[in-house]
Amino acid sequence: MMVPLLQESVTTGVELQQYVILSSILFSIGVYGVLARRNAVLILMSVELMLNAVSINMVAFAVYTAPTLFVGIIFAIFIITIAAAEVGLALGIVLRVFRNRGTANVDEIDSLKW
């Protein structure tokens, strides 16, 4: 017979705010990276940081405030899935651009600029 695992509440020394603040710091770092860097692969890495920040936020809120639904955890799983798809596709595009233009710097790829 399988014993059903029960959800249990645990008191921790860390509050929800601390996770949210950590997540917002990480997100801001990612924003800085996306805006300041000019190499396409580095921009992608900064986007990964931002996605992770959002995941932390979602999971923290799910665990602390919505224990029976935990939609945030499901969301985090989907974020990771879509991030994997996004990285594969975006790196394919970066590779193709590099082969055609000889650079992976986004400010040198300006053929659509008028």
Partner 1 sequence: MTEVFFYIFAATVIAGGLGVVLLRNIVYSALTLIASLMGVAGIYILLSVEFLALVQVLIYGGAVMVLILFALMLTRTRELKDNLDGDQKPLAAVAALALLGSFIAAITQTTWPRDVNQITTVPFNDIGNALFERWAVPFEIASGVLLVALVGAIIIAMQEEGER
Among positions 93-112, residues that touch partner 1 (CB under 8 A) are: 93-96, 98-99, 102-105, 107
How many residues make contact with partner 1 (CB under 8 A)? 81
Segment 45 to 84, residues that bind partner 1, using CB under 8 A = 45-46, 48-49, 52, 55-56, 59-60, 62-65, 67, 70, 73-74, 76-78, 80-84
Site membership for partner 1, residue 15 (CB under 8 A) = yes
What type of residue sits at position 113?
Answer: K
CB of 100 to partner 1, least distance (A): 9
Residue 33 is a binding residue for partner 1 (CB under 8 A): yes
CA distance 7 to 5: 7
Q: Which residues of 60-93 are buried (b: 16+ CB within 10 A; e: fewer)?
A: bbbbbeeeeebebeebbeebeeebeeeeeeeeee
